[in-house]
Amino acid sequence: MESISIDEILQITQGKLIQGTRELFVNHVTIDSRKLEGEALFVPIIGENNNGHDYINQFFLNGGKVCLSQEQKRVIPEGMTVIAVNSTLEALKALAGFNRHRYNIPVVAITGSSGKTTTKDLVAAVLSQKYNTLKTEGNFNNEYGIPQTLLNLGPDHQLAVIEMGMDHLGDISKSIQIVEPDISIITNVGLSHIERLKTQENIYLAKKEILQTLKNDGIAYVNGDDHFLKKIQSETNNYQVRTFGIEGQHTVKAIDYHSSHNGLEIQVGWENRNELYTFNYPGKHNVYNCLVAIGLGYFYGMTQAEIQAGLNAFVPSGNRMDIFITGTVKVINDSYNANPDAMRASIDVMEVLGHEYQRKIAILGDMLEMGEYGPPAHYEIGNYASGKVDVLIGVGNLGKEICRGFGNAGEVFEVSDAQAAGECLEKIIAPNDIILIKASRGMGLEKVIDFIKAGIE
């Protein structure tokens, strides 16, 4: 972030200087009092469990000089320059919007029920082969994280790839004005968050908020095979609609693909180009993820070699399709999160990779926030796993429904939590097994990995 003055901060945030000097400049904005880089501005956010104003003194002791505050009665060290604002969160967004619009570069925004983080990482990996690309890091895809990502934009960046998550209707709307993307991508519309949103139609409407600020030359780049997203093509919009997919006609189409233990081969068609690409990870769901990245590469004038180099450079984020071998056992750690589409995709990946292994063991836990859809969805996942899995360990209350759906298709174990799942696995693990770990993040199934390593020592 390039420097901004106190006067500029006052104007951007519509704040009031209540203490300190106007003679300072800021080149970093943080909501974490421990992260003091350069000439930092501390923005104390009031969250559900913490009030950032409680850490202003610590920020000062760490060497910080400037902060915002919406609690004007709070006593702050005399050496601190303090700008009063009505809402520190809205001020953070205003600063992020200002920084985003300082640079006339393309911004790509991505959302979806499944695969948005993988897609974001893939798109960034591809575009980075030609352009200096900023991307959302970690789980900074919410109302607090998106502004922080935009504040990292600097004069050397040529593109930005921003991931946008949501839990409720209106969540994406809260941030889309400051992102103002040139291209908005929706990967799919599934059942994530259906407990809160009640219907898949509402999930579709929540995802569509990412299209709200697209201008006449903006592009909605959507999964044309998705039942809900197909509707966008027939709606009257000011922006352009382009699609990616496997079935039917699409702007970017997988003409053919082959999934094996070596990964993917995808024949991709776009305008007059017909090119073969490879990807190190198998699964039909990854075809869609790759099509987004390949399509963006086409749109931004990249060669086949540059796009392929980006696909080769992709590294999954933590606990997402992390495939590794320990001893003679292969592990697919996909424990970061789960929904029915993602669960089926992970099972498919294990089936493809498992041909050379003695047994396929699936440790499948609760998919959370599904409300009344939970029991039947988990039962269906168990049924889907039958014939594809040799041993099933169902974890949690809804894991019992997975076991029930699995029936007598193989060995079945019902356990209460990650600890019990690890202990169960430790007893049965054998050489040449392949193990899938998949559940919602709240189940903490990544703990099972320690038991895997202990069981084969």
Q: What is the dihedral of CA 383, 385, 387, 393, to 10 degrees?
A: -110
- CA 353 to chain CA centroid, nearest Å: 24
Question: Annotated binding residue at 116?
Answer: yes
Supply φ then ψ for residue 113, to 5 degrees.
-75, -35
Question: Annotated binding residue at 81?
Answer: no
d(CA 361, CA 345): 15
Order across the sheet with 322-326: list the strands.
Answer: 322-326, 329-333, 433-438, 359-365, 391-395, 411-415
Order across the sheet with 28-30: list the strands.
Answer: 16-19, 81-84, 66-69, 40-42, 28-30
234: which residues sit within 8 A by CB, 6+ positions away?
A: none
249: which residues sit within 8 A by CB, 6+ positions away?
A: none
Question: Annotated binding residue at 117?
Answer: yes
Question: Annotated binding residue at 113?
Answer: yes
Question: Annotated binding residue at 112?
Answer: yes
d(CA 345, CA 333): 13
Question: Annotated binding residue at 224?
Answer: no
Q: Are 331 and 450 in contact (CB under 8 A)?
A: no
Amino acid present at 376: P
Binding region: 112-118
Q: Binding site for ATP: which residues?
A: 112-118
